[in-house]
Chain A
Amino acid sequence: MATQRIKARKIRVLPGFKLTLGFTLFYLGLIVLIPLAAVFWKTSSLTRAEFWHVITMPQALASYRLTFGASLLAAMVNAVFGLIVAWVLVRYNFFGKKVVDALVDLPFALPTAVAGITLAMLYSHNGWIGQLLEPLGIKVANTRLGVFVALTFIGLPFIVRTVQPVLEDLDPELEEAAASLGANRWQVFWRVILPMLMPALLTGFALAFARALGEYGSVIFIAGNIPMKTVITPLLIMGELDMFDYAKATALAVVMLVASFALLLTINVLQWWTNRYNTNNLA
């Protein structure tokens, strides 16, 4: 048994493994790792104490809370509502479906500054939506809520576009089988559909979350950018650059990078875990 396994690994059915792996590593190194290494290298001009001082400044801590908090919240809200949108687009036929389908991609295509200006106008106290919310005591523009709104806007397509194809390929027989075994609709959704969608949903969540962390253009127009309150970390980094302080800017960037990488890795592990669980169950 053991020897067989080793043999199977040595002779691959698919040729070109070494070549493609080599290319993959080269490409990732060139496009991703070298720029990232440059970031770390730039930070190295700071001493450890200086580095620590920069990344724990009160305004930096406040900005991490806002950036990571709002991004997480936006990705979670999108996971729920994006799933519903994908569900409607896959499962039902209705007039104008193609238009709705195309609309989903709009936040992808829109330059972020345009998105930011549009949102700021809409949610401003005299904007279409803002003037309806203001009497209710809800302020969106120039508050943390505004940051969340912008991040939700840009994150939606990630969830829909990752969940949609999986939902399309979902075999209706599985649901029928579940129903014939006595599961009610709620049970079918929770026990059959959702576990199968989970890997795709997690991918979409990770993408939306990562995108939100790095978002700059759309947020600065609606955030108000008041220090300690509505300054996102990317803006803080821009501020340091404007003061010609590369080392400090990159120190903050390193925090973002390490934290994002840890979070994305966690999500990937989680995804691998749910995926394995799935195939075992189906097999």
Chain B
Amino acid sequence: MKTFLNILLATSLALSGGAKEIKLLNVSYDPTRELYSEYNAAFAKYWQAKTSDTVTVSQSHGGSGKQAQAVVNGLEADVVTLALAYDIDAISQQARLLPADWQQRLPNNSTPYTSTIVFLVRKGNPKQIKDWDDVVKKGVSVVVANPKTSGGARWAYLAAWAYALETNNHDEAKAKEFITKLYKNVPVLDSGARGSTVTFAQRDIGDVLLAWENEAHLALKEFGADKFEIVTPSLSILAEPPVSVVDKNAKRHGTTEVAKAYLNYLYSDEGQEIAAKNFYRPRNETLTGKYAGNFSQLKLVTVDQEFGGWAKAQKTHFADGGIFDQIFQP
């Protein structure tokens, strides 16, 4: 059977004159649509110049958790580019499609770009929201997604928690009080980051949106800079959305090499520039200056420093009966 397939493959290669047509599936999360549609075109060009093969990369977007779920359930992703390491860990643990140490395989914890959580407010900032303390004030209406169903919302929650810890001498009780006040100000908990943006921008609900930095910039572009402005808090979280090849799927499709190249190219100058243009913070320091206008300076903390890693953060805050659940108990 295998030899037969090989012969078939060889003949089809011979017929197509050596240049292969390769299909890749990149399963990603909600706000990366624009980034990857630009990046895919650039990578296809690069790959064709290098090997004369044509690569068509298909994209799938959705809530990060749901996307990981789909891969676990058999969605044939060659690569995953998700909102948090926890979701790729789940693919590794539950479906064993990639090794447990996947995050050590690429530079910077396999996160070629980073992002953070900022505030999007209405033009003129009528409620004078400057930092996290203003967000929890009485009478301020906050729009954010449900951290149980949205990766971005988890980052936002952790950013607020980190701020509360840093300003209260790491007093957990004070931080809990702070986060409770914050979520009491939330009238709608959409299930995903895009849903929240729509609620804030189109349905005109809320005074401030806790958003991915790139999503906030995108909202400015989409709905007009005359309607909203971005406020950068004094402290936020360094969101590291990681990428990985899904080893077993790629092996089965015979796409391991191109899938690896696809992710490596994200670290190249061109890849980094595309990320920066789409408002993801590049790892490449030389670009930081060029796109300084896109990214305000602020103090960024990481999940590992402040929360002892994702697994722990997940268990303490978002699991059933965790702190997020306790906020809403009477």
- Residues in A lying within 8 Å of B, measured CB to CB: 54, 57-59, 120-121, 124-127, 141-142, 220-221, 224-229, 235, 238-245, 248
Q: How far is the CA of A142 from the CA of B321 in the complex (A)?
A: 24
Indicate if the CB atoms of B321 and A57 lie closer than 8 Å. Answer: yes
User: Are A142 and B191 also in contact (CB < 8 A) when A58-B329, A126-B204, A244-B94 are?
Assistant: no
Indicate if the CB atoms of A244 and B69 lie closer than 8 Å. Answer: yes
Is B90 located at the chain interface by the 8 A CB criterion? Answer: yes
Indicate if the CB atoms of B146 and A244 lie closer than 8 Å. Answer: no
Indicate if the CB atoms of B191 and A220 lie closer than 8 Å. Answer: yes
Choose one: A124, A244, A245; the contact of B68 (CB below 8 Å).
Answer: A244
User: Are A124 and B65 also in contact (CB < 8 A) when A58-B329, A239-B146, A242-B149 are?
Assistant: no
What are the residues of chain A within 8 A of B318 when measuring CB–CB? Answer: 243
A-B contact pairs, 27 of them (CB 8 A): A120-B203, A121-B203, A126-B203, A126-B204, A141-B203, A142-B187, A142-B205, A224-B187, A224-B188, A225-B188, A225-B190, A226-B188, A226-B189, A227-B325, A227-B328, A228-B330, A235-B149, A239-B146, A239-B149, A240-B320, A242-B148, A243-B65, A243-B148, A244-B69, A244-B72, A244-B94, A248-B320
Is B66 located at the chain interface by the 8 A CB criterion? Answer: yes
What are the residues of chain A within 8 A of B68 when measuring CB–CB? Answer: 244
Nearest CB in chain B to that of A62: its residue? B328
Is B319 located at the chain interface by the 8 A CB criterion? Answer: yes
A65 CB to closest chain B CB (Å) equals 14
What are the residues of chain B within 8 A of A227 when measuring CB–CB? Answer: 189, 325, 327-328
- Residues in B lying within 8 Å of A, measured CB to CB: 63, 65-66, 68-69, 72, 90, 94, 146, 148-149, 186-191, 195, 202-205, 314, 318-321, 325, 327-330
Indicate if the CB atoms of A226 and B69 lie closer than 8 Å. Answer: no
A127 CB to closest chain B CB (Å) equals 8
What are the residues of chain A within 8 A of B319 when measuring CB–CB? Answer: 243
What are the residues of chain B within 8 A of A54 when measuring CB–CB? Answer: 320
User: Are A226 and B328 also in contact (CB < 8 A) when A57-B321, A125-B205, A238-B149 are?
Assistant: yes
What are the residues of chain A within 8 A of B328 when measuring CB–CB? Answer: 59, 226-229
Q: How far is the CA of A238 from the CA of B69 in the complex (A)?
A: 11
Indicate if the CB atoms of A244 and B330 lie closer than 8 Å. Answer: no
B83 CB to closest chain A CB (Å) equals 11
Indicate if the CB atoms of A225 and B203 lie closer than 8 Å. Answer: no
What are the residues of chain B within 8 A of A221 when measuring CB–CB? Answer: 195
Contacts A221-B195, A224-B189 supplied; 11 other A-B pairs, CB < 8 Å: A124-B203, A124-B204, A224-B188, A226-B188, A226-B328, A239-B149, A240-B320, A242-B69, A243-B318, A244-B90, A245-B320
What are the residues of chain A within 8 A of B203 when measuring CB–CB? Answer: 120-121, 124, 126-127, 141
